[in-house]
């Protein structure tokens, strides 16, 4: 058995995607959704350590940052980013965490014909998923990265961390106005609920921009709808998950039958 931990959990598409992937490859496994609030996360992990038929689990909002400290071991990637989204349960019950959000997001862009190398990127968010994407974009060779966050200090801090790891990259905190960029990314949970504020100023969107989401449900968020109305190309959040499945499955020791 495998799982996904979230709060709330009703928007996640991971179980359907993973279970279809299992069925197509004749893998005798199932991935189930588990809703747990932050206050109950540590207690839940104690129970998961004791489940001998648990192979691992996916972690999503709002638990990615906490998982780095709660797991028994975290990869260098997870420690650098400060968040994890995939955890393997070893035979001895130890929980080993890593992060594939950023790598999956960049792979999703490329699989749909959007090469980030050399591009000017504006991103909203400085939390777990945004942090992972920031480091992955830096690794992919973007030309410039601007990070906007409602709490400006978090954007400044993330920009400094990325700059320390990639000193030749032009990276800085910025405003909610994404003008002057080629790719606009929502790396926050805004758009998950009706009435959420937009992560950027829609008046600044131009037809030559690519506007990308990490929110998977609804498929077309208010941001993507606004981008479409202004003639922009759009990139859905589900593409990040599609590209992560292979990475997550290999890490959790899932192998298709011969």
Burial 245-254, CB ≥16 within 10 A → b, else e: beebbebbeb
What's the rounded Cα separation, in Å, for the pair 52 and 5? 18
Structure tokens at 151: 């709490």
Question: 145, 81 in Cβ contact below 8 A?
Answer: no
Question: 92, 48 in Cβ contact below 8 A?
Answer: no
Separation of CA 169 from chain center: 21
Catalytic residue list: 64
């Amino acid at each position: 058995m495998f799982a996904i931990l979230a709060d709330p959990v009703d928007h996640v598409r991971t179980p359907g995607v993973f279970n279809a992937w299992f069925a197509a490859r004749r893998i005798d496994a199932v991935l189930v959704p588990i809703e747990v609030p932050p206050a109950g996360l540590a207690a839940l992990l104690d129970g998961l350590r004791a489940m001998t038929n648990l192979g691992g689990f996916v972690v999503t909002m709002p638990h990615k940052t906490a998982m780095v400290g709660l797991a028994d071991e975290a990869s260098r990637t997870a420690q650098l980013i400060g968040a994890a989204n995939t955890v393997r349960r070893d035979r001895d019950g130890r929980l080993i965490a890593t992060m594939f959000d950023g790598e999956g997001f960049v792979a999703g862009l490329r699989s749909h014909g959007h090469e980030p190398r050399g591009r000017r990127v504006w991103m909203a968010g400085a939390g777990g998923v945004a942090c992972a994407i920031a480091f992955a974009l830096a690794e992919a060779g973007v030309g410039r990265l601007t990070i906007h966050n409602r709490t400006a200090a978090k954007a400044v801090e993330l920009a400094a961390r990325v700059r320390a790891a990639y000193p030749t990259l032009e990276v800085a905190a910025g405003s909610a106005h994404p003008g002057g960029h080629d790719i606009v990314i929502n790396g926050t949970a805004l758009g998950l609920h009706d009435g959420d504020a937009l992560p950027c100023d829609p008046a600044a969107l131009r037809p030559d921009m690519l506007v990308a989401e990490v929110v998977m449900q609804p498929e077309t968020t208010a941001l993507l709808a606004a981008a479409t109305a202004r003639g922009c190309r759009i990139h859905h959040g589900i593409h990040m998950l599609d590209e992560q499945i292979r990475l997550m499955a290999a890490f959790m020791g899932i192998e298709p039958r011969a």
